[in-house]
Amino acid sequence: MWSKDKIVSRAALPAVVAQWKAEGQRVVFTNGCFDLLHLGHVDYLEKARHLGDRLVVGLNTDASVSCLKPGRPLQDEMSRARILASLLFVDAVVLFDEQTPLQLIETVLPDILVKGDDYAISGIVGHEVVLQHGGQVLTVPLVAGYSTTRIVERIRQLGD
């Protein structure tokens, strides 16, 4: 499969997820901005994938990111999507334009919803609906010292 084929539209995603579930595969969902992919992201996504059988990544569009993180993203949504899709342990990437992935999570109803442990379970968008449908909500420990913000700060220092 070509990486670009892993980038799935909102309309096509339900059938893809339904097929995986029909095959008895546990679907893991996570989401994020993933601007300037770094070691923390890779470690986290790989661990998230191994909590189940298929990993779906909800990716904030450029418009969504710019609302959440002024001045961002540094990389456009298609770049961010393609880079995520190129990872062996990512099975699908789907863009969402809202400020939160709640509607997307209600569509996917993953078996497992995951975020980094910079989030408390109660602060993870979608945790209620996933738990109500018998799914799990889990966090993955952060890799200390890695963040996109930190990368940006270090680049800024180069200019000083």
Ligand X SMILES: Nc1ncnc2c1ncn2[C@@H]1O[C@H](COP(=O)(O)OP(=O)(O)OP(=O)(O)O)[C@@H](O)[C@H]1O
Ligand Y SMILES: O=P(O)(O)O[C@@H]1O[C@H]([C@H](O)CO)[C@@H](O)[C@H](O)[C@@H]1O
42 binds ligand X (CB under 6 A): no
Q: Using the minimum distance from each CB to ligand X, give the nearer residue, 21 or 97.
A: 97
**Whole-number Å distance between alpha carbons of 31 and 41:** 11
Taking a C-beta distance cutoff of 8 angstroms, is the pair 124, 137 a contact? yes
31 binds ligand Y (CB under 6 A): yes
Among 60, 80, 104, 109, binds ligand Y (CB under 6 A): 60
Among 27, 32, 61, 138, binds ligand Y (CB under 6 A): 32
**Whole-number Å distance between alpha carbons of 107 and 93:** 14
Q: Using the minimum distance from each CB to ligand X, give the nearer residue, 129 or 152.
A: 152
124 binds ligand Y (CB under 6 A): yes
Query: How many residues form the binding site for ligand Y (CB under 6 A)?
Result: 13
Among 8, 27, 41, 87, binds ligand X (CB under 6 A): 41
119 binds ligand Y (CB under 6 A): yes
32 binds ligand X (CB under 6 A): yes
Q: Using the minimum distance from each CB to ligand Y, give the nearer residue, 54 or 60.
A: 60
Closest Cα to residue 104, out of 30, 41, 48? 30
- Residue numbers of the site for ligand X (CB under 6 A)? 30, 32-35, 40-41, 43-44, 69, 115-116, 118, 142-143, 146-149
